[in-house]
Structure formats: C-alpha cells, structure tokens
Structure 1
Amino acid sequence: MRTHAVKTRAMRNHARLLLAGLALLLPASGALAQASCGGDFGAWRNAVVEEARAAGVGQAGLNAIASAQNNPEVLKRDRAQGVFTLDFATFARRLISQNRLDVGAAKLKQYASTFDRARSEYGVAPEVITAFWGLETDFGGYQGDFNTLNSIATLAHDCRRPELFRPQLIALARLIDLGVVPRDITGAWAGEIGMVQVLPEDYLTKGRDGDGDGAIKLKTSAPDAIMTAANFLQSLGWRANEPWLIEVQVPAEMEWYDTGLHEALPVSEWKARGVTARNGDLPDNAATHLLIPMGRKGPAFLAYPNFNVFLEWNQSLTYVLTAAYFSTRLGGAPIFTEGNPEPGLNQAQMKQLQAKLNADGFDVGEIDGILGAGTRDAVREEQRRLGMPADAWPTATLLNAL
C-alpha cells in the first residue's frame, strides 16, 4: 500500500551512494552506461549485466538479470495512483478498518516475545512495526504477485527514476546469487518484497533472522519481518522511548502559517499558542510540528521527531500520517476528532489549482491532482499573500481567488 509515486529520501541517498561505489569499479565507458535508461531493452539489460559483473555479482545473479523482461503493467501502475487524491480522513477510514485493528492487536500478542526483542535491540515500539505490517500487506495476507525481477528491471529501464531502481536491480541479483531469494520471487509492482515490503538493497543490508533458523525469509517468517522492520526503522533514526504522534486540539484562531512540516517549534511554544492534548498531556520536546492535514477546522496532531522516520519510510504525508495514527490506535488512542473542515477540491479542481500555481512561479511538480508537499507549500504562501488563514488546505474559495 506504500505510495510508490514518491520514493523515500533514504532510498534516494542509498541509491546515490551505491551508484557512486559501483562507478569506482567500472571504466569510464561503464560509468556512462550505468546512467543510461530507455532505448532497446535487450541492449540496456546487457549493460546492466556487465555492471553487475564488475560489482562482483556471481553467475546466478548475472543470469537472472539477463533473463529479466519488460512489464508494461508496472509502468501503468506507476503512472496511476488515484487513491492518493483522497483527503486524510477518507484515506484513514478506508485503510484503518476494525478488522485491521483487531488483527493487529492479535499479532501484538502472538509475537509479543519477538516485539520485546525488537524493542530491546532497536528501540522501536511494537505498534509502529505492526502498523506498517498491516498497511503494507494486511499482515502478510497480500504481498503482491508481480515478478520482482521484471518489475525492478522495468522501472530501472524507464527514464523516470532509473537512479533509484538500477541499484535495486543489482542488489536483487546479489540476493539471488547468494540464494537468499529465488529468481522468480514475487512482490509489489514497485519491487518491494515480503510482509513489510522492503526493497532488495534493504533486504540485503537490513534483513534479520528473527526466528533463528539461519535464513532471512521476509515473505513467510513474521519474526524475520518484525526484526528487519525494527532494524530498518532504527537505521532511519528512530529514537527509543519517545512519542511520534499525539492528537491535539487547536484554538479557533492562531498563526496558521507555522503549521505543517516546514516549521518546527518547541512543545512549550505550541502550548503558549493554545494547543492542548486531546487526552493527557504533551511531553516536552524542542522540535515538533503541528499537522492539520485538512486545514485549521479538521483533525490536528503534534508530530514529534520520530515522525520524521515515517517520512523516511515514505514521503506521502497522507500515508505516513495514517500509518502513524494507526500505530497510536494500536497503542490505545481513541478515534481522531474529524472536526468540521471546509470542503476540499476534487481531482479536476486540484489539477486546475496546480496549473495556476505553476504558472504563478511555484514548483508543485507534476500536475496530478494529488496534494503533495510542493502544492501544500504553494497554497500556504498564496493564502498568506491573499490575507487568508494560511493553513495549506486548498479550497474552492482559494481557487476562485486565484
């Protein structure tokens, strides 16, 4: 269920480092070849085989790359992800069913000893791992049926994000060569594998044997998946024994421009502005974000530094806020207060707004009708310029004003 349209910062950085390391192993012509994409698939595939050979991948892995096929269905999925046009409340209601909450609670009990070990070794809260497990694959119930080798080869050959997927193809070849996964392994259309949907490079470097059988089986072993997810989240900067998200109540009037991910303020400052916890109190912290995903009249949350780890896993605010909120529900938090937000824009209106913002000099990225970070930032600036509450929630009033 991960938003494949926007890959993680961690993945981008890892890809750059891996490519840089591989470049040192190749002659100049090979370094140029590794940056290529598109063109004849067979010729491109042969170049990747040689790149992998120079990087030390064995014959089984090289044979796997040589057998990879282009899958047009993967590109269709990559270009069409309409579910992410939904607002936070609708998206969260759709993904967080009572059944998922019940199964999540049961998994927490069933694998309590593994979760305790994951917390002890990596500091990650069990409900956080469980939330990703549930949202990504319904606790392993559906892990995707795309041929992973073909999916990653297709995305690496495509010129939209080759720098992200070419290293993943070589990492997958190494996993195959080592016998960790079979050549015909299946997973999500964007190349993720297993119960918690990790990419091959993360499987290779963050995979952990949680059940002690000497193998790392992320598709079939829940303990392996739990320990791997914990290791991965810690590597992204998870801070033990700290909160990640707390629902709050906000006053009717305040400086809305400071809300969102662009501004971090101490908890004491938010309290001084009238922000209070819906239940209990707000632990002190020097750098927290007030998130109002549907504007000042909708749900409100205070995001602590650990929330940044969710964003490293995935960069869609709607998805990660849902995952973070789901994990708080698994920990006993009540259903969020939806409030009375102003009606948002439909996809056609959002595209119209994005086109207008781009024409006015903002960079909102692709005109896709999805309320991403670039669109939110531009909306906030235009709202402030027009004297409106700058809460980054686009409405028909703003669209008409523009």
Structure 2
Amino acid sequence: MRVSILVLGLSILASPVAAQCGGSWSGFLSGIRSEIRAAGLNATQADAFLAGARQDQKVLRADRAQGVFRKDFLQFASAVISQNRLTNGARNAKRYKSTFDRIEREYGVSRGVLLAFWALETDFGQVQGNFNTRNALLTLAHDCRRPELFRPQVIAAAKLYQRGDFDPQREKGAWAGEIGQVQMLPADILRNGVDGDGDGHVRLKTSAPDALVSGAKMLRGLGWRKGEPWMQEIVLPANLDWSKTGLDTQASTADWARMGVRARSGKLAQGLPGSVLLPMGRKGPAFMVYPNFRVLFEWNKSFVYVTSAAYFATRLEGAPRLDPGHPDPGLSAAQMSVLQQKLARRGYDVGKIDGILGAKTRPAVQAEQKRLGLPADAWPTKALLNAL
C-alpha cells in the first residue's frame, strides 16, 4: 500500500494556463479538453482520452485522510521496515544487479536509496494502486485544494496517451495519480522516463528496470550528487549545543567532530557539509545527514517518510539496526495541533494545523525551546506545551 504524501516541488510541470477548479463537471472537462488540444492532441485524441471520465469520491476521501504521518519516526520506521522487506531488498539487489550497476555508473544514485523507495512505494511492485489514474488526476484537478499541482498532470497524462504509453480506461495506480513501481507522476514520466530494458517502451508498471532507471534519472535531475552519502547514524556528546541541530544548521564534518560528534560505525564523511538530525530529540536516534538527504524531499515532502526511507536505504546497504535510545514521550495528534496553534499565534509558519510534526513545525519548536531555556532539540514535549 502506498504511504507517501503528495506535495510536489521541483518535479512538476508548470501549467500553461492559470489553474481552474470547481464548477460543473461538464464545464470543467470542456476546459480540460481545450487545454489538451492546445497541448497538441487532435480532437479525436482529446475525446478518446476523456471518454467516460468521472469524478472519484474515493480519491477525495484518501486525499483528506493521511493520518499515517502522525506517527513518530520510530513508529513509522518500524511499521514500514520489516525483515521481509530487507530480505526482498537483498534479493532484488541481486536480481537486478546489472540495472543497479548501470544506474550507479550513469546517474550516481546508490542502489539502497532506490530499493528503499521501491519497497515503501509499492512493496517492490506488488501493490501499485487500484485507482483509475486519469479519473484520479481529473478529480484532484477539479477539486480546489491543489488544482495548480494536478491540472498539469492531466495534460501530461494526455501526452503519454498520445505517444501510446497510457491507456485512460485501464491505467491504474495510486490515489494521487502516481504510476508504476516507484510511483511517478505523468509529468515526471515525460521528463525522466527511461527505457531501462531496451524494449522500446517506458513501462513503469511492468518493467522494474524501466522504473528504477527512470527514478534514478529523476533524482539526479533534482540534484542528487554522485557518489556521496545521504545519512549515517552518529553518537553525540552530552554537552552538545542542541540549538545547532536540525536541517536549518549545517557545518563541516570536521567541525562536528571537534564538537564531539562521531559516527556510530566507521567515520564521518570527509569534506562534506552535514546536519545533525534528531527525529525524536536528543534522547532518541541521531543521524548525520548530507546534501543528498535533502534531495529526497523532492520525491516526498513528509519528514517522517523521508527520514525512514533514508534510514532504510542505509540498512539495505549494510548499516546495523539503529540505537533507538530513550526519547522523551511525544505529543498526541490532538496535543500537536494545539501546539501548532500556539506557535502560529506567535507568528511562526507551521503550515497546516494537522497534528503532524513536519518540516515547518520543527524549527518553530526549536526556536521556542531556545527562548524558554529548554533543550532546543526540536522535539516537542508536554513541558514545552505547558510552558507556552
């Protein structure tokens, strides 16, 4: 089952016209048809692409029910990283060794990263979603929450149909319109789709090489740096200045070493900037994350998802099981919502009040911890909530 959240960044195609939404379904489809024609499809192709199109209320319900991201890092990681997935990851690494060798040679993306996303997105291609992709994209483009994100994807799907790589009646995938074994949107397939198995087509649903090479090309286009690490587990000194932790602060690994930070196994990467990431505060797991870690947020915007995927990727490449530590109890979803409201009233941009400790809420938490004289490790506790 696909668990990632859809909030797109650099991987989206810009729409040539202002996004329109709402209104009658027939009027909306008429506007879409005009835009499809403007994109180069003839009248017959446009009509065939839209034939039988309907709204899917299940898509809207799925869009509004993403409570899985309210889990903390250890809860989420333990739920998605199983021994079965580690075993299957090793098996697939061996089965597609030549594909991964090609990927690392041409794109510089480590096989562990692609294996992790392949596992988390579709369980190595086993669960790719059962939503009609065209209808899902049209439904989300008509809905007025994020039409500017989904309308271009409808046009991209029409272009895939025009070249023979998309069946509007039968193409199925995730509720948010992603297709194939690593769950890519139509616009990303147009830009990054690669025929990885040499059969003359880009088939992300049925061809693992096509899906993996296409995913690697997309990551490289988003800024992946060849041959560099993305994350490693670290051990921290008890007297570290916690306000220096988090993604907003970077220092050289040499500087971190001078502050007493060391790798749990091996050595810190040399000559790279890094950030100390404490997904559950100073008493929980600790990681050094490098520039490539930040690229993963262009694949998925969820902090807990990306951190779990990055850690899973290290495990798939031989890293030991992490030290969970003894983190302080976190907040419930309801308490997190109250905290976000309090932070918003103080002028912080925490994004949507959703009870999720995301990338925008964490810096606000850390700033208030520092102001109040609490350990500024960006992990919200009842002590912080009460102090506010």
Normalised to the residue count of structure 2, the TM-score between the two structures is 0.96
Amino acid at match of 1:4: I
Q: Which amino acid aligns with 1:158?
A: D
Hey, what does 1:80 align to over in structure 2?
Answer: 65
Whether contact under 8 Å (1:285, 1:304) holds in the other structure is no
Cα displacement (A) at 1:61:
4.2
Aligned position for 1:27? none
Paired residues of 1:128 and 1:324 also in contact (CA < 8 A): yes
Please state how far the C-alpha of 1:63 moved relative to its aligned partner. 2.8
Q: 1:253 aligns with which of 235, 239, 244?
A: 239
Distance 1:103 1:95 in 2: 13
Q: Verify: 1:301 aligned to 2:287, yes or no.
A: yes
Would you say 1:49 and 2:50 are equivalent positions?
Answer: no
Distance 2:52 2:259 in 1: 61
**Offset of residue 4 of structure 1:** 2.1
Structure 1 regions of 5+ residues with no counterpart?
23-30
Contact 2:60-2:139 at 8 Å conserved across structures: yes
Q: Structure 2 CA distance, aligned partners of 1:57 and 1:272?
A: 61
Within 5 Å, give how 1:316-327 maps onto structure 2: 316-327=302-313
SS across alignment from 1:247: strand
| Distance (Å, rounded) in 2 between the aligned partners of 1:359 and 1:3 | 29
Tell me the equivalent position of 1:287.
273
Alignment of 1:386-397 (within 5 A): 386-397=372-383
The letter for the 2-side match of 1:53 is: R
1:152-167 superposed matches below 5 A: 152-167=137-152
CA drift at 1:62: 4.4
Write out per-residue CA displacement over residues 70-120 of structure 1, whole angstroms, 9 at most, x where no aligned residue: 111111111111110001011001100000000000000001011111111
Matches for 1:228-267 after TM superposition, within 5 Å: 228-267=214-253
Correspondence for 1:26: none
Match of 1:189 in 2: 175
Matched residue type, 2:387: A
Give me the whole-angstrom Cα distance separating, in 2, the residues matched to 1:170 and 1:373: 31
Q: Which residue of 2 aligns with 1:204?
A: 190
Cα distance change of structure 1 residues 352 and 116 upon mapping to structure 2, 3 Å threshold:
same
Distance 1:395 1:232 in 2: 38
Deviating beyond 3 angstroms after TM superposition, the runs of 4 or more aligned structure 1 residues are: none
What's the CA shift string for 1:169-224, capped at 9, x where partnerless? 00001111211121120000000000000000111121111111111111011111
RMSD: 1.3
Counterpart pick for 2:81 among 96, 106, 129: 96
The answer to whether the 8 A contact 2:272-2:290 is kept is: no
Deviation at 1:65, TM superposition (A): 3.1
Q: Is the 8 A contact 2:4 2:121 kept in 1?
A: no
Counterpart of 2:122 in structure 1 is 137
CA distance in 1, matches of 2:52, 2:223: 37
Q: Name the structure 2 match of 1:8.
A: 8
**Paired residue for 2:212?**
226
SS at match of 1:248: strand
In structure 1, give the amino acid aligned to 2:360: G
Deviation at 1:339?
0.4
In the TM superposition, what is the alpha-carbon distance from 1:247 to its structure 2 partner? 0.4
SS in 2 for 1:213: coil
1:52/1:62 contact within 8 Å kept: no
Match of 1:180 among 148, 159, 165: 165
- Asked if 2 retains the 8 angstrom alpha-carbon contact of 1:10 and 1:313, the reply is no
Distance apart, 1:67 and its partner CA: 3.5
- Mark the CA change 1:295 to 1:267 in structure 2 (over 3 Å): closer, same or farther: same
One-letter identity of the residue aligned with 1:329? R
TM normalised by structure 1 equals 0.93
Amino acid at match of 2:144: C
